[in-house]
Amino acid sequence: MKQSQMFIPTMKEKPADAESASHRLLLRGGFIRQNAAGIYSYLPLGYKIIKKIETIIREEMDGTGSQELLMPAMQPAELWHETGRWDVYGPELMRLKDRHGRYFALGATGEELITSLVRDFLNSYKKLPMSVYQIQTKFRDEKRPRFGLLRGREFIMKDAYTFHDSAESLDKAYWDMYHAYCRIFERCGLKYRAVLADSGAIGGKDTHEFQALADIGEDTIAYSDSSDYAANLEMAAVLETDGSEKGDSLPLEKVSGNQEISGDIKIAAHWFKTRTDTVVVFIKAEDEINDVKVKNVLNTDLIEPLEDVNPDPINPEKDVLIFADNALKHLSRTAFYNKTEDATYFHLDPDRDLSIQQYDDLRFIKEGDLSPDGQGIIKFARGIEIGQVFKLGTKYSEAMNATYLDADGKAKPLIMGCYGIGVSRTLSAVCEQYHDDNGMIWPKSLAPFTIHLITVNPKNEEQFKLSDQLYQQLLNQGYDVLWDDRRERPGVKFADSELIGCPVQVIVGKKAAENIIELAARREKERVETSISEMASAIS
Ligand code: ATP
Ligand code: MG
Ligand code: MG
Ligand code: MG
């Protein structure tokens, strides 16, 4: 492409409100523009990279036998009512009403929609397993959209769903996806770790997150270079104490369901202390509390009431414990919960005791510790969650009555897995890892153009002629070339070239008449004079 005809609005100045390198450089390089908080346009250069990421994802998803489809972004509210998530999802779910008064959600995720689509078709074990995926815009009204594409309110996600008739079949799909994700992120050039994670509000149990290493990342991961062990730090505490299978049953892992937290939170001011941390517990109860006594729920040995312990019994169906933020690190992986910016909402399992004593032996992983498998020393790093794979089980199929007939003719709920990749977030994560102060340094696999051909002075006939000739030649050789044919000052051209970050620069300047050009790798910056005849071998 000729740069004189392209829409690449680079910025000389650092944008004031961009707090991360990726946000700043994507704006400055003319890759994206903000339209509203957390809502962006992908300009031609940025969209080229998005499409390259999508191509890698499509190739690897197709390779697992998954079929691409496209579902609407606008989803009927009825489906979200079927699973109860219309009420549970909270303010992150964007909702709207049509002219007939019917409500819709702008898809934050697609479990309901896909389950509704396949439930009639997948009526027999003979049609299982099945795997589908889409690349579609998602909407989440994030409380704090930030860091540009890293936490948007409208963003591009690849979401895949698999359907099975056995845990073994799900397990196979899960690990196939896991390995496909590894290949995707490797092909994107990312330094990342696949870590054990928590299943959060989505339900289900087995789950890994893919975390791109970057200081700006919002998660902290514990990993070791010489062991396979890697976990989201919050998960790491639990694994350490579990002692049994990784991620296996913890006291409160299975719970009855999720409920929306609404109305005022009544504070009953239960304080209790564990050996590892002081935890503040508030109890919210909208209705009269009865059923279970407080002391049945909390092991009183470890409770040091700092104020009156509320003598009221707890109704485990309705009441919600809210642990203060500092407790989150230690206890948040033990119960089904809703995480918000300010607190974690735990839902009690009526069938189980919430005994704080269970955590009496908690040891939390620290930097320098031996990894749980004994194979290495633990390090901490910050990570950006670029993808996640989940074993959902039957949570959605049960709620939505999506059943198949097994070989004995018995109706059973479909067993499901779901698998997400933040496409636009991946772009930002790559930026965080591939830049210097002057701009982007794209990995070859994602670069918007492989070669930036820069004509220092296009008004000079020799320079222009040689550039035109090289441009055609490089295109014919199959290179993706951006030709800076603009009548701009050389300083502007070189600054823009650094911002745009193509891996190779071919500079046509003063020695054009002698058929001599300069070559530079964006990463090294050093320019090397080369004759035209030697250029081809130098580039490849
Ligand atoms: P986070 O913990 O960062 O809020 P999440 O766990 O809520 O992410 P998932 O529901 O697992 O996100 O969605 C799948 C993927 O979509 C994530 O792994 C992430 O890469 C991407 N993603 C989620 N939220 C956003 C967002 N607001 N902006 C950009 N990408 C996002
Ligand atoms: Mg989220
Ligand atoms: Mg997450
Ligand atoms: Mg996630």
* Per-residue pLDDT of the chain in tens (540 residues, 90 and over written 9): 999 999 999 999 999 889 899 999 999 999 999 999 999 999 999 999 999 999 999 999 999 999 999 999 999 999 999 999 998 888 899 999 999 999 999 999 999 999 999 999 999 999 999 999 999 999 999 988 999 999 999 999 999 999 999 999 999 999 999 999 999 999 999 999 999 886 443 333 588 999 999 999 988 888 998 988 888 875 554 333 333 222 222 222 222 222 222 222 222 222 233 323 323 333 333 333 222 222 222 332 322 332 333 333 334 343 334 333 233 333 342 333 333 333 333 333 333 333 333 333 334 567 888 887 789 998 989 999 999 999 999 999 999 999 999 999 999 999 999 999 999 999 999 999 999 999 999 999 999 999 999 999 999 999 999 999 999 999 999 999 999 999 999 999 999 999 999 999 999 999 999 999 999 999 987 899 999 999 888 887
Report whether residue 424 contacts ligand 1, using a CB cutoff of 6 Å.
yes
* CB neighbour list of residue 324: distance below 8 Å, 6 or more residues apart: 279, 280, 281, 343
> Ligand 4 centre and the CA of 220: distance in Å?
14
> Ligand 1 centre and the CA of 353: distance in Å?
32
Rounded Cα distance, 205 and 187, in Å:
28
Please give the pLDDT value at position 347.
37
Report whether residue 158 contacts ligand 1, using a CB cutoff of 6 Å.
no
Angle between helices 532-539 and 461-476 (to 10 degrees): 40
How distant, in Å, are the alpha carbons of 4, 25, 407, 485 from that of 30? Answer: 14, 8, 57, 17
Please give the pLDDT value at position 367.
83
Please give the pLDDT value at position 70.
98
**What is the ipTM metric for this complex?**
0.99
Report whether residue 157 contacts ligand 1, using a CB cutoff of 6 Å.
yes
Report whether residue 417 contacts ligand 1, using a CB cutoff of 6 Å.
no
Quote the Cα angle for 70-74-78, to 5°. 110
Please give the pLDDT value at position 220.
83
Please give the pLDDT value at position 364.
53
Report whether residue 152 contacts ligand 1, using a CB cutoff of 6 Å.
yes
Report whether residue 203 contacts ligand 1, using a CB cutoff of 6 Å.
no
Tokens standing for 502? 């193509």
Report whether residue 136 contacts ligand 1, using a CB cutoff of 6 Å.
no
Q: Which atom of ligand 1 is nearest to the CA of 218?
A: 3
> Ligand 2 centre and the CA of 112: distance in Å?
17
What does R_g of the chain's alpha carbons equal in angstroms?
27
Q: What residues have their beta carbon closer than 5 A to ion ligand 4?
A: 388
Find out whether 488 and 6 touch, Cβ atoms under 8 Å: no
